């Protein structure tokens, strides 16, 4: 199933999701590093990573919703998309609350901030897997007819077209 929201022939949601996923997950590891080293600069970095991760997560969610609305009803993909989307809303909310608890003192957050980030991190592992299931197993956001010799997405030609005008290694 082809994605609805595209930029230069590629799904926008899949391009954007790397930012919140990477930023939020890495903020959790910065929290762990702070707890080990007690270097306050690590907490300040985690604070801003969470802020940026939540903002980019909200942006990615808009494009994910656009793609989800195009999935046919009564399919496994539609159901998995619901769990993926709702789970990521929970992840974003938990990280947002973690950020808010740090707001007054980003270099010395209360323990609740760590618990919220930890729970959100674990849920994000599951929702990330669900996103992978949608793309890799159910082909959501994949051009119909995609194959190893498909033409460039900027060519305007369908992915199903075969072009063997080049030879590799000869």
pLDDT in tens, 87-119: 999 999 999 999 999 999 999 999 999 999 999
At 68 the pLDDT is 95
- Give the tens place of pLDDT for each residue, 118-158: 999 999 999 999 999 999 999 888 888 888 888 888 888 88
The sign of the dihedral angle between the CA atoms of 83, 88, 93, 95 is positive
Which residue, among 26, 55, 54, 57, has the nearest Cα to 42 in the 3D structure?
26
Residue 62 has pLDDT above 80, yes or no: yes
At 144 the pLDDT is 83
| Tokens coding 130 | 């669900």
Residue 170 has pLDDT above 50, yes or no: no
Q: What is the rounded average pLDDT of the residues 66-82?
A: 96
pLDDT band at 164 (very low <50, low <70, confident <90, very high): low
Which has more confidence, 6 or 121?
Answer: 121
- Give the number of other Cβ atoms within 10 Å of residue 63's Cβ: 21
Rounded Cα distance, 29 and 73, in Å: 38
Rounded Cα distance, 134 and 128, in Å: 10
Alpha-carbon distances, residue 106 vs 42, 47, 96 (angstroms) = 10, 6, 13
Rounded Cα distance, 164 and 75, in Å: 35
The 3-class SS string of 48-78 reads HHHHHHHHHHHHHHHHHHHHHHCCCCCCHHH
**Contact of 116 with 91, CB cutoff 8 Å:** no
**Three-state DSSP class for residue 6:** strand
């Amino acid at each position: 199933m082809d994605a609805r929201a595209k930029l230069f022939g590629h799904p926008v949601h899949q391009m954007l999701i790397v930012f919140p996923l990477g930023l939020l997950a890495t903020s959790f590891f910065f929290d762990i590093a702070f707890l080990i080293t007690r270097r306050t600069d690590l907490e300040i970095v985690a604070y801003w990573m969470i802020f940026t991760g939540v903002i980019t997560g909200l942006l990615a969610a808009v494009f994910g919703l656009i793609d989800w609305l195009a999935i046919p009803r009564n399919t496994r993909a539609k159901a998995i998309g619901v769990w993926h989307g709702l789970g990521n809303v929970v992840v974003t909310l938990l990280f947002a609350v973690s950020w808010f608890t740090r707001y007054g003192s980003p270099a010395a957050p209360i323990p609740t901030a760590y618990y919220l980030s930890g729970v959100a991190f674990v849920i994000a592992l599951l929702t990330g897997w669900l996103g992978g299931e949608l793309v890799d197993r159910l082909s959501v956001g994949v051009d119909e007819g995609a194959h190893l010799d498909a033409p460039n997405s900027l060519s305007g030609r369908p992915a199903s077209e075969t072009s063997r005008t080049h030879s590799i290694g000869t």
